[in-house]
Amino acid sequence: SDSDPLQDFCVGDLKASPSINGFPCKSSVSASDFFFSGLGGPLNTSNANGVSVAPANVLTFPGLNTLGLSMNNVEFAPGGVNPPHSHPRATEAGIVIEGSVFVGFLTTNNTLFSKVIQAGEMFVVPRGLVHFQWNVGKVKARLITSFNSQLPGSAVLPSTLFGSNPTIPNAVLTKTFRTDDVTVNKLKSKFAV
Ligand code: GLV
Ligand code: MN
């Protein structure tokens, strides 16, 4: 859903400030600007969520600048969860490379559409909708995801709500979640950055 390019390519000059809608073009380019080796893994998934994401977006692969697409390698430990998040600038399509993954997204009416899918199977998440994945297998799982934006952005609900800087006032969060300060402080302590 990014704008259409006005030239064959425009490899991003990340050292320049993004004063246009994206990055200015690098003046001299070579073949290496159009290749990226960062999606092969394996990633370290020893963290609280049991998940790790390696992005190939305009910031890691500047050759994508102005081309309107990007990809991620997403790896899961057994039981790992990619927590509920949304991409403000892109629809997501993904394929399971290995393992067995519960994939779900929520509509703006709070309907959950979900399915367990296996290697070779694909899913789609409409632009901006909240979604998550959960490795329901006993072994590692791996997805390759793709986006129709060079920089889809990701609003990760738990860290957006409980790990912001500065933090959201407790008065807002206790009322929002119909709970007390103890619970909100506990959640904030888990997501503090
Ligand atoms: C998965 O949801 C991803 O954003 O890569
Ligand atoms: Mn996603």
- If you measure from the C-alpha of residue 8 to the centroid of ligand 2, how many angstroms do you get, rounded to a whole number? 28
189: in domain: yes
pLDDT value, residue 24: 94
User: 127 with 90: CB under 8 angstroms?
Assistant: yes
CA–CA separation, 41 and 73 (whole Å): 7
Percent of the chain topping pLDDT 90: 95
Its pTM stands at 0.96
Q: Judge if 87 and 6 occupy the same domain.
A: yes
37 three-state secondary structure: coil
74 lines ligand 1 (CB under 6 A): yes
158: in domain: no
Q: Judge if 124 and 183 occupy the same domain.
A: no
73 lines ligand 1 (CB under 6 A): no
Residue nearest to atom 1 of ligand 1 (CA): 145
Which pLDDT band, with edges at 50, 70 and 90, does 17 fall under?
confident
pLDDT at 21 over 90: no
- Cite the beta strand spans of the chain per DSSP E: 51-56, 70-76, 81-86, 92-98, 100-106, 112-118, 122-125, 131-135, 141-147, 155-156
Q: Judge if 94 and 170 occupy the same domain.
A: no
pLDDT at 19 over 90: no
pLDDT at 32 over 90: yes
pLDDT value, residue 141: 98
| Mean pLDDT score across all residues of the chain | 97
pLDDT value, residue 18: 79
Q: Judge if 100 and 183 occupy the same domain.
A: no
Q: Judge if 54 and 28 occupy the same domain.
A: yes
2 lines ligand 1 (CB under 6 A): no
CATH of the domain at 25: 2.60.120.10
- If you measure from the C-alpha of residue 25 to the centroid of ligand 1, how many angstroms do you get, rounded to a whole number? 27
- Considering its fold, how many domains does the chain have in total? 2
- The pLDDT tens digits of the residues spanning 146-176 come to 999 999 999 999 999 999 999 999 999 999 9
Q: Judge if 5 and 82 occupy the same domain.
A: yes
Q: Judge if 99 and 172 occupy the same domain.
A: no
Q: Judge if 176 and 144 occupy the same domain.
A: no
Pocket mutation for ligand 1, best pick of 52, 76, 131 (most atoms within 8 Å of C-beta): 131
pLDDT at 20 over 80: no
pLDDT value, residue 193: 82
24: in domain: yes
CA–CA separation, 36 and 128 (whole Å): 26
What range defines the domain where residue 187 resides?
Answer: 163-193
Instruction: Report which bound ligand comes closest to the CA of 146.
Output: 1
Q: Judge if 142 and 180 occupy the same domain.
A: no
Q: Judge if 188 and 103 occupy the same domain.
A: no
| Ligand 1 atom index nearest CA of 152 | 4
